[in-house]
A and B are shown apart, each in its own frame.
Chain A
Amino acid sequence: MSDRLALWLRRRPVLSRLLLILAFALLLALLPALVNSYWERLLVFVFVNIALASAWNLIGGVAGYPSFGHGVFFGLGAYTAAIVMVRWEMGLLAALLAGGLMAGLFALLFIPILRQRGFYFALSTLAAMLAVQTGLREWRFTRGMAEWDLGWTLPDVGSLHFYYYLMLGLLGGTLVAIVLTIHSKIGHALHAIHKDEVVAASVGIPCTRYKAIAFVISAAIPGVIGAAYAPFLTYISVDNVFDLAITLNMILIAIFGGIGTVVGPIVGGIALTVIDQIAWANFLDYHRLIFGLLIVLVITFRPGGVVSWFRRRPSKAPAPAALPARKQEALP
């Protein structure tokens, strides 16, 4: 019976992944009754980290366009939530929707940058984030309510329990969106674009359109997460929600866990948070050294990330082809 169930699930990869997400979400929903507030708060950060890394992974890992300024969407979501909730005195739901919408719309401005590749694309996204930071610091409308404000104090709209379930729900929604995207026509196109954009275009894929779709999805998610995170922090400024470390975390978590996979950012998010906490608690002076060393070791010896240890290797091929691989070329 269990064999038949396993076979049935293997033939339905999307359904089996969605069921797995649901099972984990249900399990995690029970945790607040079993752990203290320290662990509950820690798990909120884990959920945020996994959701952000999963969103980055769609454009950086699946499509092969590593954005080095992705934190801009998280920060924009947080700032939008602050303006919606404080300046316009609207509720959290409106803030979440506005945060996602603002980040998604802002991502559309990046479409010309999507014609660049690799190093140039990464630098362009980083430059865009720095430009937005400056704009938000200087613009009176976004600096806070009072003349002298340099940030926003948000109303406390819920308990730690509330934010735990909110972030868990948003993480579940993020993972469902990522699984559905990766297993759709969009995911198929992104995979081809990552491997060989010239070939992808030659089989009829409008590459820029699909990169733009992936970029907007991967931007809207941090926008929503940022909007939920702002009232959780209760005070936000450019320094804490546009911190470069947020972008770096997205990238490191995805790479550490397994770039381009759905499960990689989940594994990376949990592993890096746990390692971070252990290092903090036991080796405070060497915390950054241990953390950095582990990342370098995994990336050097396991470029596929932690999940590559558990992935099944393909069976021995009869006689691998001896043709030279095509050189990746730029489209005109």
Chain B
Amino acid sequence: MSGALLELEKVSKRFGGIEAVGDVSFSVAPGEIVGLIGPNGAGKTTLFNLISGLQKLSSGEVRFRGERISGRRPDQICRAGIGRTFQTTSLIAGMSAYDNVLLAARFRPKGGDAHAETRRALELCELGDRGAALTEQLTVSEQKRVEIARAVATGPQLIMTDEVVAGLNGTETDEVLAILRRVAAEGISLVFVEHDMRAVMALSQRLIVLARGRLLAEGPPAEVARRPDVISVYLGHRYAARH
């Protein structure tokens, strides 16, 4: 065992003749915050779906805490310690924010007081006073925070967030980033997909760049952002000139 929390080894996913993800390998250390970027269609969300078991790998292997998890069901992977959020809102309609988070707390493998865990997760995401609000009554920013709270309530060691600040204004983005830092401070590793480069550079300790389903670059954010190939396929020359 290498000591890595999450390890991907030559992970590939093909849809018919189209390769969505090809031979991607990387690892995430315990407590690490990793940003995953790439242009639309690069395979970021597909990669999340492969890790969380929502889609089956065509080849390769995913290991979590040294154990192979590829091939397991999504609920088993969640209970193994991987929580996630979705690109578009995934809160259960008709349920309150509290019940959405309680749902995850009730099924976490650690057991314990699910209600206490729900309150703690909501407090962590600054939603202590919004528990009673129905999903439909929450603002976009609140919905995103409930999703993070729900992922926290599963009792994870790793959370994957998929464009969690998309559609938020600057202040709301900063609030969510602060929440994610608090989550990470609890020892939970983060892998986050984001297009907002300000958020990516502010949060990530390491950056992974995907392009056309393949790993293009990996390393410290400042270093990766200066790489000509990354600038060419994703960031653009205007971003490079500014930073």
Contacts and interface: CB of A to CB of B under 8 A. Distances in A.
A188 B140 contact: no
B58 interface: no
A1 interface: no
Given A317-B137, A332-B55, A326 B89 contact: yes
A322 B168 CA distance: 12
A200 to B, nearest CB: 8
Interface in A181-210: 185, 188-189, 191-192, 195-196, 198-207
Contacts of B74: 198, 201-202, 331
Indicate the size class of the contact surface on chain B: 35 or more
Contacts of A325: 88-89, 93
A317 B104 contact: no
Indicate the size class of the contact surface on chain A: 20 to 34
Contacts of A203: 75, 78, 83, 103-104, 107, 150, 154
B102 A204 contact: no
Interface in B105-151: 106-109, 134-140, 143, 150
B226 interface: no
Contact of A324 (B88, B94, B109): B88
Contacts, number: 107
A201 B75 contact: yes
Nearest to A315: B137
A146 B114 CA distance: 59
B90 A199 contact: yes
Interface of B: 52-56, 73-76, 78-79, 83-84, 86, 88-90, 92-95, 99, 102-104, 106-109, 134-140, 143, 150, 154, 167
Interface of A: 185, 188-189, 191-192, 195-196, 198-207, 314, 317-326, 329, 331-332
14 contacts: A185-B107, A189-B103, A191-B94, A203-B83, A203-B103, A204-B109, A205-B75, A314-B134, A318-B139, A321-B138, A321-B143, A322-B140, A323-B140, A326-B88
